[in-house]
């Protein structure tokens, strides 16, 4: 059987004709390789001077150098686009979404070209970026800052599963109490540790540390009794430093 030739890698020049046709369809005169720009397009009004030029930078994929070039071309005009081949599948769609957000923040436009048929799509036009802050996210950030005890994490820590949040600190308080006193009613733990959400934390058991304990007294089943699991026993050792910091903060209060 004859060997199939590997698919040829796209070239920046493959994007030129489709992008040129797109701009010419909007009434622009288009020329390639003007100065440092891959594409320059100029449209002259019927009764006036030429409009501000459009610059398009071509690349075979999203890259840091592409964004650097786009930013550099903003010294020539406000209307700068970047253009890349359009890929397929979820990975490309995710990359498109992320890079579209980046373009929006940088004030760049974004064009994709489907190379098999030259279909060209403008996903974003250049515009000044106006950030919109989320009051909810800001409030959540400040609440987490205020309720977290001490500074138990190093900035830039990669192991997100071991970040000590205020929620984890509350869970550790409950864990420490149970480790020292054995199975206990949730309301007692909440009062002793000053963790008002103790029952909710232990019932949700996001970390696998807690379990409900079946206990009887005078022939009656006691409700809301919690103990710690083998995983919780390991956590007491694993998070010893975090527990020590919580204790120190309690001593200072």
What pLDDT is attached to residue 82?
Answer: 95
Global confidence as pTM: 0.60
pLDDT digits 0-9 by tens, 165-221: 999 999 999 999 999 999 999 999 999 999 999 999 999 999 999 999 987 777 777
198 in a structural domain: yes
Residue 186 sits in the same domain as residue 241:
yes
Residue at a domain's end among 72, 98, 124: 124
129 in a structural domain: no
What pLDDT is attached to residue 9?
Answer: 82
Residue 23 sits in the same domain as residue 96:
yes
77 in a structural domain: yes
Q: Which domain holds residue 166?
A: 162-252
Residue at a domain's end among 74, 99, 124: 124
What pLDDT is attached to residue 113?
Answer: 95
Domain CATH number, residue 218: 1.10.10.10
Q: How confident is the model at residue 146 (pLDDT cuts 50, 70, 90)?
A: confident
140 in a structural domain: no
154 in a structural domain: no
What pLDDT is attached to residue 132?
Answer: 77
Residue 100 has pLDDT above 70, yes or no: yes
What pLDDT is attached to residue 105?
Answer: 92
What pLDDT is attached to residue 124?
Answer: 94
The better pLDDT of the pair 250, 98 is held by 98
Residue 28 sits in the same domain as residue 94:
yes
Domain CATH number, residue 70: 3.40.50
Residue 20 sits in the same domain as residue 75:
yes
Residue 100 sits in the same domain as residue 174:
no
Residue at a domain's end among 124, 141, 176: 124
Residue 150: CA count within 13 A, CB half-sphere? 18
Residue 18 sits in the same domain as residue 114:
yes
As for how many domains the chain has, the answer is: 2
pLDDT digits 0-9 by tens, 45-77: 667 777 889 999 999 999 999 999 999 999 999
């Amino acid at each position: 059987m004859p060997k199939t030739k590997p698919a040829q890698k796209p070239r920046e020049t493959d994007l030129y004709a489709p992008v040129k046709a797109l701009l010419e369809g909007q009434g622009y005169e288009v020329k390639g390789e003007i100065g440092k720009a891959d594409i320059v397009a100029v449209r002259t009004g019927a009764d006036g001077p030429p409009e501000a030029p459009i610059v398009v930078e071509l690349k075979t994929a999203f890259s840091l150098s592409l964004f650097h070039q786009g930013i550099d071309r903003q010294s020539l005009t406000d209307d700068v686009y970047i253009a890349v081949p359009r890929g397929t599948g979820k990975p490309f769609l995710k990359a498109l979404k992320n890079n579209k957000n980046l373009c929006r923040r940088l004030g760049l436009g974004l064009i994709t070209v489907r190379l098999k048929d030259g279909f060209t799509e403008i996903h974003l036009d250049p515009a000044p970026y106006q950030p919109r802050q989320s009051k909810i996210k800001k409030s959540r950030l400040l609440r987490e800052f205020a309720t977290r005890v001490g500074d138990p994490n190093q900035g830039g820590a990669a192991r997100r599963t071991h970040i000590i949040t205020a929620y984890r600190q509350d869970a550790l308080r409950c864990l420490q109490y149970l480790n020292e006193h054995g199975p206990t009613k949730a309301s007692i733990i909440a009062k002793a540790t000053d963790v008002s959400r103790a029952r909710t934390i232990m019932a949700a058991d996001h970390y696998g540390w807690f379990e409900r304990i079946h206990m009887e007294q005078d022939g009656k089943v006691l409700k809301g009794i919690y103990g710690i699991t083998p995983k919780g026993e390991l956590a007491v050792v694993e998070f010893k430093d975090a527990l020590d910091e919580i204790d120190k903060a309690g001593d200072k209060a």
